């Protein structure tokens, strides 16, 4: 492979985007310099097929070699063949298919596209290959003699020099753990381009999230093999009041949307969602693994052409489903798998003239569990103990270990876990890191207290803490600093001036006494600013009622000599 790797002059050029050309060159550089097997990471809808087509053409026409493309589902095989024909028409008569599901068993073409289920015991019947391309290689088994390992072991007996190249959007398995390691089938990520980069460059559709703030509680679910136990998830989630609540929110947020793909937790749950949407006057298609092929094909056709707005599925449209018109993805299932979470969201990545962005409604707490989709938190271990890694205190917003029954920061006692199945409302956590979401909440009560920083010395300045109640057991908090000096005190004085005619208190305790005596204007609404990837939210705006008169009946406070402070948007220093 030391010879020139450029395609022959007579072959029509495959037009590659800059990052695709970089990926191809990175593969060739890896094959020249290393003896192990590389992996290319390109986001869903970023275009892995042009990379495969370029490698196939070069292998066949430049090296006189043979290439095998392996995939795990029929749709990926069909897409691979169709796209290879479209991008490299000169190769159309050199591509064969080996798939029982497609009724084809070609064995003598220089390029074979095969289903792993059909060939994993037939490597020796297919003869020698020089390159094996693994599409969606995150499906590789983590250990043991899976179908891929069985096939590759036999393929290496036929040709010990065969090289393996993986392509995926997610370089980790659907449960957990990275694909590439010295002891694995794939050993090194030779090229990776990210979701955010391709969105900025205009190659992927922008994403956004929208809806309420209630978070899913999955503490009652157990984990097996790195994922929630499916039967438990469906048993918990198929609750009529929760399904109806979520369906109402989906309809409310998608009035201006055209193609809404819904991921359910099981067949009965999906049928429940379909029935409720139908009762609300909205036709909803349904597909699962048991759906008859002709029925499934017709349902997907209607959804792709826009005749069907809502489509609910169970475990069948996470990979290999190409519908660029999808402008909303609703996650009605929690998952412990960062790969599955990414693949579900990725259905909305594709560009289409019919949409400006894709809305992600997360009813399963997946964004909070795994992080923004362009900065996933992946633990390189299989399995799990069934516990969420952290939880957020509803009173002080502290992010603490899930095992705490009482918040170590403020003393809030967590109620026993409610076996709630999925959120009544979708999470507003940002789907992309750095994404800013501002949400306005109606305030039904405000509570004032003195806050002492945990583990601080006794003489450390205390703060005035305000907890705004915005719904049942839904609080947003802020802290202001009457006992501090400098910037923090200036910020407190501006906060107090906007709400009260009383003189500025000098202590947090005095501020609480005045607040409880009615010295502060009522707060009717707050605006909360959330930044994806950051732990804590910030209250950025308020709707205040009239400032009450002085408690002692005296003149209004005179503080014209106090300058209006100017400060950067940073944290209060306490």
Spatial distance between the Cα atoms of 441 and 213, rounded to a whole number of angstroms: 10
Tell me if 56 sits within 8 A of 81, measured CB to CB: no
Q: Is the pLDDT of residue 428 over 80?
A: no
Check whether residue 213 and residue 174 sit in a common domain: no
Res 268: pLDDT? 96
Res 424: pLDDT? 60
The segment with the largest mean pLDDT, out of 312-321, 394-403, 474-483, 519-528, is 519-528
Check whether residue 452 and residue 307 sit in a common domain: no
Q: 117-133: buried (b, 16+ CB within 10 Å) or exposed (e) per residue?
A: ebbbeebeebeebbbbb
Q: Which residue has the higher pLDDT, 40 or 433?
A: 40
SS3 401: coil
Closest CA to 365 of 309, 428, 321, 409: 428
Q: Is the pLDDT of residue 7 over 70?
A: no
Q: Is residue 13 part of a domain?
A: no
Tell me if 174 sits within 8 A of 167, measured CB to CB: no
- Could you tell me the CA-to-CA distances from 342 to 319, 338, 502 in Å, in that order? 10, 6, 53
Domain boundary among 372, 392, 412: 392
Mean pLDDT of the 82-106 span: 81
Q: Which of 361-375, 511-525, 551-565 has the lowest mean pLDDT?
A: 551-565
| Residue 292: count of CB within 10 angstroms of its CB | 9
Question: What's this model's pTM, rounded to 2 decimal places?
Answer: 0.66
Q: Which of 176-180, 490-494, 528-532, 543-547 has the lowest mean pLDDT?
A: 176-180
Q: Is the pLDDT of residue 560 over 60?
A: no
Q: Is residue 234 part of a domain?
A: yes
Q: Is residue 403 part of a domain?
A: no
392: confidence class by pLDDT, cuts 50, 70, 90: low
Domain boundary among 128, 161, 193: 193
Is residue 137 exposed (0-12), middle (13-18) or buried (19+ Cβ within 10 Å)?
A: buried
387: confidence class by pLDDT, cuts 50, 70, 90: very low
Res 569: pLDDT? 41
Closest CA to 237 of 314, 133, 344, 334: 334
Q: Is the pLDDT of residue 456 over 80?
A: no
Check whether residue 263 and residue 120 sit in a common domain: no
Residue 274 maps to which CATH number?
Answer: 3.40.50.300
Spatial distance between the Cα atoms of 110 and 93, rounded to a whole number of angstroms: 9
Q: Is the pLDDT of residue 481 over 80?
A: yes
Mean pLDDT of the 66-91 span: 80
Q: Is residue 8 part of a domain?
A: no
136: phi > 0 → left, psi -120 to 50 → alpha, else beta; which? left
419: confidence class by pLDDT, cuts 50, 70, 90: very low
Q: Is residue 410 part of a domain?
A: no
Q: Which residue has the higher pLDDT, 172 or 130?
A: 130
Check whether residue 369 and residue 459 sit in a common domain: no
Q: Which of 161-165, 296-300, 428-432, 460-464 has the lowest mean pLDDT?
A: 428-432
Domain boundary among 392, 427, 455: 392
Q: Is the pLDDT of residue 574 over 50?
A: no
Res 203: pLDDT? 94
Check whether residue 159 and residue 230 sit in a common domain: no
Residue 294 domain boundaries: 207-392
Check whether residue 149 and residue 227 sit in a common domain: no
Q: Is the pLDDT of residue 431 over 70?
A: yes
Q: Which of 125-129, 272-276, 411-415, 564-568 has the lowest mean pLDDT?
A: 564-568
Spatial distance between the Cα atoms of 67 and 556, rounded to a whole number of angstroms: 84
Q: Is the pLDDT of residue 32 over 90?
A: yes
Q: Is the pLDDT of residue 242 over 50?
A: yes
Q: Is the pLDDT of residue 144 over 60?
A: no
Q: Which of 98-107, 184-193, 388-397, 565-574 has the lowest mean pLDDT?
A: 565-574
Check whether residue 235 and residue 336 sit in a common domain: yes
The segment with the largest mean pLDDT, out of 119-128, 513-522, 562-571, is 513-522
Check whether residue 289 and residue 331 sit in a common domain: yes
Check whether residue 177 and residue 231 sit in a common domain: no
Q: Which of the 8 DSSP states describes residue 415? A: P
Q: Is residue 3 part of a domain?
A: no
Mean pLDDT of the 441-458 span: 84
DSSP 511-555: HHHHHHTT-SPPEEEEEEEEETT-S--EEEEEEE-PPPPPTTS-P
Check whether residue 322 and residue 471 sit in a common domain: no
DSSP 496-507: HHTT-SSPPPSS
Spatial distance between the Cα atoms of 307 and 302, rounded to a whole number of angstroms: 5
Res 571: pLDDT? 38
62: confidence class by pLDDT, cuts 50, 70, 90: confident
Structural domains in the chain (count): 3
Q: Which of the 8 DSSP states describes residue 382? A: S
Q: Is the pLDDT of residue 175 over 70?
A: no
Cα dihedral across residues 495, 501, 507, 512: positive or negative: negative
328: confidence class by pLDDT, cuts 50, 70, 90: very high
Q: Is residue 498 part of a domain?
A: yes
Tell me if 427 sits within 8 A of 368, measured CB to CB: yes
Spatial distance between the Cα atoms of 298 and 320, rounded to a whole number of angstroms: 17
Query: 102-143 pLDDT, tens per residue?
Result: 788 888 899 999 988 889 888 888 989 999 999 888 877 665
Q: Which of 72-86, 301-315, 525-539 has the lowest mean pLDDT?
A: 72-86
Check whether residue 378 and residue 486 sit in a common domain: no
Mean pLDDT of the 244-265 span: 94
Q: Is the pLDDT of residue 466 over 60?
A: yes
Q: Which residue has the higher pLDDT, 403 or 40?
A: 40
Q: Is residue 573 part of a domain?
A: no
Check whether residue 376 and residue 493 sit in a common domain: no
Q: What's the distance, CA 339 to chain centroid?
A: 9
Calculate the average pLDDT of the chain.
82
């Amino acid at each position: 492979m030391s010879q020139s790797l450029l395609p022959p002059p007579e072959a029509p050029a495959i037009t590659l985007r800059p990052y695709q050309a970089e990926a191809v060159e990175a593969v060739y550089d890896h094959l020249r310099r290393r003896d192990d097997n590389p992996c290319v990471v390109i986001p869903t809808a970023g275009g892995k097929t042009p990379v495969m087509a370029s490698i196939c053409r070069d292998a066949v026409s430049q090296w006189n070699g043979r290439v095998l493309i392996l995939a795990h589902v029929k749709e990926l095989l069909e897409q691979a063949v169709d796209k290879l024909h479209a991008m490299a028409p000169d190769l159309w008569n050199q591509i064969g298919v080996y798939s029982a599901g497609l009724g084809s068993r070609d064995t003598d073409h220089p390029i074979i596209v095969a289903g792993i289920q059909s060939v994993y015991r037939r490597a020796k019947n297919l003869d020698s290959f020089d390159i094996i391309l693994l599409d969606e290689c995150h499906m590789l088994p983590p250990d043991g003699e899976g179908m891929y390992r069985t096939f590759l072991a036999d393929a290496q007996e036929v040709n010990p020099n065969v090289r393996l190249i993986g392509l995926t959007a997610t370089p980790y398995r659907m449960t957990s753990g990275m694909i590439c390691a010295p002891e694995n089938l794939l050993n090194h990520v030779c090229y990776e381009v990210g979701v955010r980069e391709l969105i900025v460059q205009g190659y992927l559709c922008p994403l956004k999230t929208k809806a309420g703030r209630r978070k899913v509680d999955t503490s009652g679910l157990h984990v097996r093999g790195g994922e929630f136990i499916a039967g438990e998830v469906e048993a918990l989630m198929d609750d009529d009041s929760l399904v109806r609540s979520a369906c109402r929110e989906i309809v409310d947020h998608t009035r201006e949307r055209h193609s809404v793909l819904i991921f359910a937790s099981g067949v009965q749950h999906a049928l429940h969602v379909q029935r409720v949407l139908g009762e609300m006057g909205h036709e909803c298609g349904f597909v699962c693994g048991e759906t008859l092929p002709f029925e499934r094909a017709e349902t997907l056709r209607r959804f792709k052409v826009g005749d069907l707005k809502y489509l609910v599925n169970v475990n069948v449209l996470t990979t290999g489903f190409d519908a660029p018109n999808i402008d909303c993805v609703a996650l009605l299932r929690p998952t412990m798998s960062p790969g599955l979470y990414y693949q579900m969201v990725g259905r909305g990545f594709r560009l289409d003239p019919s949409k400006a962005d894709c809305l992600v409604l997360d009813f399963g707490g997946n964004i909070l569990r795994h992080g923004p989709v362009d900065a996933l938190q992946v633990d390189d271990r299989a399995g799990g103990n069934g516990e969420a890694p952290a939880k957020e205190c509803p009173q002080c917003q502290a992010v603490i270990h899930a095992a705490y029954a009482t918040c170590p920061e403020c003393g809030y006692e967590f109620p026993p876990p409610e076996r709630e199945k999925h959120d009544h409302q979708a999470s507003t956590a940002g789907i992309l890191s750095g994404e800013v979401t501002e949400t306005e909440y109606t305030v039904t009560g405000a509570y004032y207290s003195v806050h002492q920083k945990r583990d601080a010395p006794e003489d450390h300045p205390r703060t005035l803490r305000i907890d705004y109640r915005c719904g049942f057991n839904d609080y947003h908090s802020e802290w202001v600093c009457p006992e501090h000096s400098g910037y923090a005190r200036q910020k407190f004085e501006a906060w107090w001036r906007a709400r009260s005619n009383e003189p500025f208190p000098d202590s947090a305790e005095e501020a609480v006494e005045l607040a409880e005596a009615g010295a502060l204007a009522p707060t009717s609404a707050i605006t909360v600013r959330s930044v994806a990837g950051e732990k804590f939210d910030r209250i950025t705006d308020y709707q205040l009622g009239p400032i009450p008169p002085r408690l002692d009946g005296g003149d209004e406070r005179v503080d014209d000599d106090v300058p209006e402070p100017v400060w950067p948007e940073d944290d209060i220093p306490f």
